[in-house]
Amino acid sequence: MDSVIDTETGNLEYQATVQKGEQLFDEETVQSVRDALYGNVYVTRFGNQRYAMEEVNMMAESGTAEIVIDGQYSNRKYIYSAVLAFPYEDPEYIVYYAYKANAGHRLGAASTEIKNVIKTVITTYPLDTMVDNETDSVVHQGEIGNYVNKSVKDAVANLKEQGYDVVVIGDGKTVLNQYPQKGSSLLNNERVLLLSKIENMKVPNMSKWSLKEVNAWANFANIEIV
């Protein structure tokens, strides 16, 4: 309501004024929202666990929208979207993304792409709250060296010393191939695959792997993923 005028006298009885406060929401309300969005990723999840990251504590809310095709809602194509915020402890960034895809597509693969963007952000603009749960070391981006033709033992020791999660494929003693390749840029707590022998390959637990890492392993194993 802007104002109140007496219709009989024409006198202005009330004139509203704009009052601005320094804080729009109280701290308790803000904390409740942060806790709920954090819980979406790490507690209740409902698919939002795909946005969990080791480098930073995430908050997320995702959604799905129907699409009208030929005058009716499609039962196959949808718009998938999510709002991500980080870090949980002291939020600085909000990321929104949306894309159109078929129902049943690989949600994990799609989330990997946006997490790569976030990794670039936190590498370029380091956060005070970046975490490395296992080593409590500084997370940074660098180029991976060449480990082909080196001993598996030495390669693993060197990579782990830098903070990488190393997966050795086969039971050989010499590195035959590697992923990522020499000169590739990645964070120092990401996964590195070392191929040591074509025979005696065991399938590792890939539940937290990116699609690129799964494809790299499949390429080493000469297996086609469908």
Span 185-202, pLDDT tens digits: 776 667 899 999 887 788
Q: CB of 148 within 8 A of CB of 180?
A: no
Mutual angle of helices 211-221 and 107-124, in 10-degree steps: 110
User: In this structure, what are the phi and psi dihedrals at residue 43, rounded to the nearest 5 degrees?
Assistant: -120, -80
Q: Assign a CATH topology to domain 141-221.
A: Trypsin Inhibitor V; Chain A (3.30.10)
Element (H, E) at 40: helix 27-42
Q: What is the mean pLDDT of residues 102-129?
A: 84
Residue found under tokens 């109280």:
26
Query: Does position 126 have pLDDT exceeding 80, yes or no?
Result: no
- 135 pLDDT band, cuts 50/70/90, is very low
What is the pLDDT at residue 6? 86
Query: Does position 5 have pLDDT exceeding 50, yes or no?
Result: yes
Q: CB of 76 within 8 A of CB of 102?
A: yes
Task: Measure the CA–CA gap between 217 and 168, rounded to whole angstroms.
Answer: 10
Q: CB of 169 within 8 A of CB of 221?
A: yes
What is the pLDDT at residue 139? 53
- 164 pLDDT band, cuts 50/70/90, is confident
Q: What is the mean pLDDT of residues 1-28?
A: 82
The residue among 99 and 20 whose pLDDT is bigger is: 99
Task: Measure the CA–CA gap between 51 and 41, rounded to whole angstroms.
Answer: 7
What is the pLDDT at residue 134? 47
Task: Measure the CA–CA gap between 26 and 205, rounded to whole angstroms.
Answer: 44
Determine which of 52-66, 96-110, 195-209 has the lowest per-residue pLDDT on average: 195-209
Q: Give pTM, 2 decimals.
A: 0.50
Residue 189 CB partners (closer than 8 Å, separation 6+): 54, 55, 132, 135, 137, 139, 163, 164, 165
Mean pLDDT of all residues belonging to the chain: 85
Domain boundaries, the chain: 27-124, 141-221
